Structure 1
Amino acid sequence: MNCNYCHQTINRNLTLKEIFLPQKILSEQLCSRCMKTFQLLEKKDSCQGCQRQSTQTAYCKDCLRWQQIYPNYNFQHEALFSYNQAMQEWFELYKFKGDYRLRHSFVPYLQSYFKQKKSFLAIPMPISKERMEVRGFNQVEGLLDAAGIPYEPHLIRFAHGLSQVQKTRKERLSLKQPFKLTQEGQKAVLNRDIILVDDIYTTGRTLFHGAQVILANHPAKLYTFSLAR
């Protein structure tokens, strides 16, 4: 099998599961050389709100601001990887150049994380109809599909605008509410443990907009998650 990213041959011994269930072989995983370029995040010495690294206080400045805006929301965000140069380049290929095969790259890590969240209803962050027409897929749903993680797309993006990458920090933070829940979603989140899933956490503005809509419909718990931070 070949590396999902660099396409070099991966040599390793198969597990018993892969021998007897060959259809389960992850033929599109990352090789060890590529994997070393991605940096896993540590919870130690990180912000308790958003997992920003190397903060000197319990909460970073951004999260202190979010606490003022959403005083009744005990938010908790978790991410797996740092948005370093390697991750930026990976997202450029996957998200912006449309290499959909790359959705398999981090399957073992996603499966390991969501195994601990089995009681939670996963809701992916949506993209607009206009973005879907251009890209052809929702990058968050692609990651979840590849990892076999069940989810329910109850959140809808009704407002279209520039990609977050094209916005300045000030523009991102001043973004108006672009999301709403479906009628089915309003019932589905009531008294449920919810995990709102995105691809990248930057300022947190997009996820907090999504969280605001869900909180209005009274979930039991609401956590947020992203592949990268």
Structure 2
Amino acid sequence: MKCNYCKQTITRNLTMKEIFLPKKILSEQLCSRCAKKFQLLEKKESCQGCQRQTKKAYCNDCLRWQQLYPNYDFHHEALFSYNQAMQEWFEEYKFKGNYQLRYSFVSFLQSYFKQKKEFIVIPLPISKERMNVRGFNQVEGLLGAAGITYQPYLVRFADGVSQVTKTRNERLQLTQPFELTKEGQKAVSNQNILLVDDIYTTGRTIFHGAQVILENHPAKLYTFSLAR
């Protein structure tokens, strides 16, 4: 079998599970060399709000979000640091359209979401214009590859330039681009919701999505991203 990312042949002894699922593992493995490039986030000495590495209880960004959303008990989790290797991976997956890479972190995502079975998973959407250009929603791709059930209750009614091109201040000033479907408005009420994005930077996109969900009174609302 070959590495899902670098395509080099992986040589190791297969487990019994892998022997009986040969087609599945061909597209869902990273070689040890590639896996080492991606840095798992530490929960020690991290912000209680967004998991940024800090010795303070809350980073400056989360203190700002607490002022803007005083009634929201914000809790975000991520798996990986958005380091150079992860930036390059997202460039290949998200912007160059290598959709096969959605399988790269299957085992990590499955392990995380196994602990969130009582949550309704809602991915952040992309606009119709972005979908026409890219051809896929990168968040839904990751969830689907890992076999995670999700509900498309959020829709994006506003298009815009990719946030990669925006400064930090420009990202924070973005206006609300999301709304819940009618089905979603009923479905999230009094339920545990897990809002999922691919990358957490300033938190602006996540909080826009959270805002429209909070208006419909979920029991809990947590957020998650692959990278932070």
Q: Give the TM-score category using the shorter length.
A: over 0.9
- The alignment's TM-score, normalised by the length of structure 1, stands at 0.97
Aligned counterparts of 1:198 and 1:175: Cα–Cα separation in 2:
17
Answer yes or no: is the 8 Å Cα contact 1:123–1:154 preserved in 2.
Answer: yes
Aligned counterparts of 1:145 and 1:26: Cα–Cα separation in 2:
17
Which segment is superposed worse, 146-155 or 25-34? Answer: 25-34
Amino acid at match of 1:9: T
- 1:188 alignment partner in structure 2: 187
- 2:156 alignment partner in structure 1: 157
TM-align CA RMSD: 0.9
Amino acid at match of 1:42: E
Q: Which runs of 4+ in 1 moved over 6 A?
A: none
Aligned counterparts of 2:60 and 2:110: Cα–Cα separation in 1:
31
Answer yes or no: is the 8 Å Cα contact 1:2–1:28 preserved in 2.
Answer: no
Stretches of structure 1 lacking an aligned partner (at least 5 in a row): none
Amino acid at match of 2:219: A
Answer yes or no: is the 8 Å Cα contact 2:28–2:106 preserved in 1.
Answer: no
- 2:197 alignment partner in structure 1: 198
Answer yes or no: is the 8 Å Cα contact 2:2–2:26 preserved in 1.
Answer: no
Query: What SS does the aligned partner of 2:116 have?
Result: coil
- What does 1:14-163 align with in structure 2 at a 5 Å threshold? 14-53=14-53, 55-163=54-162
Q: How far 1:23 sits from its partner (Å)?
A: 4.2
Aligned counterparts of 2:190 and 2:50: Cα–Cα separation in 1:
24
Q: How far 1:28 sits from its partner (Å)?
A: 3.3
Aligned counterparts of 2:26 and 2:80: Cα–Cα separation in 1:
20
Stretches of structure 2 lacking an aligned partner (at least 5 in a row): none
Query: What SS does the aligned partner of 1:172 have?
Result: helix
Aligned counterparts of 1:19 and 1:56: Cα–Cα separation in 2:
45
Aligned counterparts of 1:50 and 1:20: Cα–Cα separation in 2:
39
Q: Show CA shifts across 1:17-41 (max 9, x none).
A: 2223444435331100001011000
- 1:12 alignment partner in structure 2: 12
- 2:219 alignment partner in structure 1: 220
Aligned counterparts of 2:115 and 2:14: Cα–Cα separation in 1:
25
Answer yes or no: is the 8 Å Cα contact 1:124–1:196 preserved in 2.
Answer: yes
- The alignment's TM-score, normalised by the length of structure 2, stands at 0.98
**Identical columns (%):** 81
Answer yes or no: is the 8 Å Cα contact 2:120–2:150 preserved in 1.
Answer: yes
Aligned counterparts of 1:52 and 1:39: Cα–Cα separation in 2:
13
Query: What SS does the aligned partner of 1:159 have?
Result: coil
Q: How far 1:16 sits from its partner (Å)?
A: 1.8
Q: Show CA shifts across 1:84-143 (max 9, x none).
A: 000000000000000000000000000000000011010000000000000000000000
- 1:2 alignment partner in structure 2: 2
The answer as to 2:175 corresponding to 1:176 is: yes
Q: How far 1:220 sits from its partner (Å)?
A: 0.5
Answer yes or no: is the 8 Å Cα contact 1:124–1:197 preserved in 2.
Answer: yes
Aligned counterparts of 1:106 and 1:117: Cα–Cα separation in 2:
17
Aligned counterparts of 1:140 and 1:111: Cα–Cα separation in 2:
14
Q: Show CA shifts across 1:163-204 (max 9, x none).
A: 010111111001000000000000110111000000000000
Q: How far 1:15 sits from its partner (Å)?
A: 1.9
Aligned counterparts of 2:112 and 2:16: Cα–Cα separation in 1:
23
CA change 1:64–1:183 in 2 (3 A) is same
